[in-house]
Amino acid sequence: MAGRADSTVLAGARVVLPTGTVENGRVIVEGTRIAGSTRDDTRTVDLSGHWVVPGFVDMHNHGGGGASFATGTAEDALTAVRAHRARGTTTVVASTVTGDMDFLARQAGLLSELVEQGELAGVHFEGPFISPCRKGAHSEELLRDPDPAEVRKLLDAARGSARMVTLATERPGGIDSVRLLAEHGVIAAVGHTDATYEQTVEAIDAGATVATHLYNAMPAIGHRDPGPVVALLEDERVTVELINDGTHLHPAALELAYHHAGAGRVALITDAMDAAGAADGFYELGPLAVEVKDGVARLVEGGSIAGSTLTLDTAFRRAVTIDRIPVEDVVRSISANPAQLLGMYDRVGSLEPGKDADLVVLDADFALKGVMRRGEWIVEPPLG
């Protein structure tokens, strides 16, 4: 790992800014921040033939590098953070999985310490307040209805670090829990749900603003019973998460979401488990056994998809090269939109003066070649 770039100009690349792509652009780094002027001793790094984009922001991630946010120690969590940073994710929210309430509260406390240290951007509770009909890779015996008092218990355990809670909002207590979350400035996300179209509209009106991994773990679109997908896509107040790993979504489903929601309402996520960036084999997701084969994670019992082994550099490259999504739209989906949802856009999510110097260098084929976080090269691009 290289040292901090105290005063550096990254020159010659295609630079993606909020206003569009600048050919032969320049990004000026002073210490940990993006600057608007240079010093006489500024070092210039020639990145001709490359792209420079903002660091990726992953708002739904359970682990990586063989380590888990959901069940691991603080050191395990840091291992997962480092694994994803090396693949361009400079900001990550740690997601839990369904577990015993006391355990979840303890894990939230552990993760909140890393939020306070600046290693994580927050905590996302995925479960236990989800539908047994759409549980996916969650332990059914540990599921419970979203009692606002229990939701509040987890928020308190996170000590201000909770950023999102995924709920089956149609379950008893669901709407009241959405209102509670909205009152506390925490994202209420509709997911792992068996809700109808009408029930989903009610949840959005109550304050739900995110669709947890749209399409997955929810009823499919029906022409007489449109279900939650249509309600979530059509409402301008909702941002939809998409897992672009080639397993969770058909490219046409991804295109449909971009077409109806627009690039401003899509957040590309990993939903990664600890096998992300690690080898095939056997792992655990909470209390459940998972087998990863050819990069696809499935429960040993039942064969349900169990999160992903995705990293956001792969999601970015797929979106541009396979799905043919414009680069600027992918940047919005993978950086700006999640940063805005998390209330962090004043610091991350775009390449603008005063923001953290978090950026990713990609070659002409959109393969990752460099990662900088807060002015420090995590992966230094090859030069010369």
Domain containing residue 29: CATH number? 2.30.40.10
pLDDT value of position 71: 93
Q: Is residue 2 a part of any domain in this protein?
A: no
pLDDT in tens, 218-275: 999 999 999 999 999 999 999 999 999 999 999 999 999 999 999 999 999 999 999 9
Residue 4 reports pLDDT greater than 60: no
Q: Domain containing 70 — which CATH number? A: 3.20.20.140
Q: Are residues 18 and 140 in the same domain?
A: no
Q: Are residues 66 and 27 in the same domain?
A: no
pLDDT value of position 37: 57
pLDDT value of position 143: 97
Do the beta carbons of residue 166 and residue 127 sit within 8 Å?
Answer: yes
% of the chain residues with pLDDT over 90: 91
Q: Is residue 172 a part of any domain in this protein?
A: yes
pLDDT in tens, 19-68: 999 999 999 999 999 997 555 566 889 999 999 999 999 999 999 999 99
Q: Are residues 160 and 228 in the same domain?
A: yes
pLDDT in tens, 265-295: 999 999 999 999 999 999 988 888 999 999 9
CA distance 173 to 128: 13
Q: Is residue 16 a part of any domain in this protein?
A: yes
Q: Is residue 384 a part of any domain in this protein?
A: no
pLDDT value of position 219: 97
Q: Are residues 296 and 278 in the same domain?
A: yes
Q: Are residues 274 and 357 in the same domain?
A: no
The token pair that represents 6 in the structure block:
């105290």
Q: Are residues 119 and 147 in the same domain?
A: yes
Q: Are residues 22 and 162 in the same domain?
A: no
Could you identify the residue written with the tokens 């590309």? 268
Nearest C-alpha neighbor of 251 from the set 155, 310, 321: 321
- The mean of the pLDDT values for the chain is 95
Nearest C-alpha neighbor of 17 from the set 8, 25, 29, 5: 25
Q: Is residue 321 a part of any domain in this protein?
A: yes
Q: Are residues 304 and 269 in the same domain?
A: yes
Q: Are residues 20 and 141 in the same domain?
A: no
CA distance 93 to 106: 17
Structural domain tally of the chain? 2
Burial of 274-293, coded b for 16+ CB within 10 Å and e otherwise, reads bbbbbeeeebbbbbbebbbe
Residue 5 reports pLDDT greater than 60: no
46 is catalytic: no
Residue 95 reports pLDDT greater than 90: yes
Q: What is the mean pLDDT of residues 316-327?
A: 97
Residue 3 reports pLDDT greater than 70: no
pLDDT value of position 1: 42
Catalytic residue of the set 76, 271, 274, 313:
271
Q: Are residues 358 and 213 in the same domain?
A: no
Nearest C-alpha neighbor of 94 from the set 102, 74, 86, 103: 74
% of the chain residues with pLDDT over 70: 97
Provide the domain limits for residue 172: 56-341
User: What pTM did the predictor assign?
Assistant: 0.95
Residue 308 reports pLDDT greater than 80: yes
Q: Are residues 240 and 373 in the same domain?
A: no
pLDDT value of position 63: 97
Q: Are residues 93 and 104 in the same domain?
A: yes
Do the beta carbons of residue 129 and residue 212 sit within 8 Å?
Answer: no
pLDDT in tens, 179-198: 999 999 999 999 999 999 99
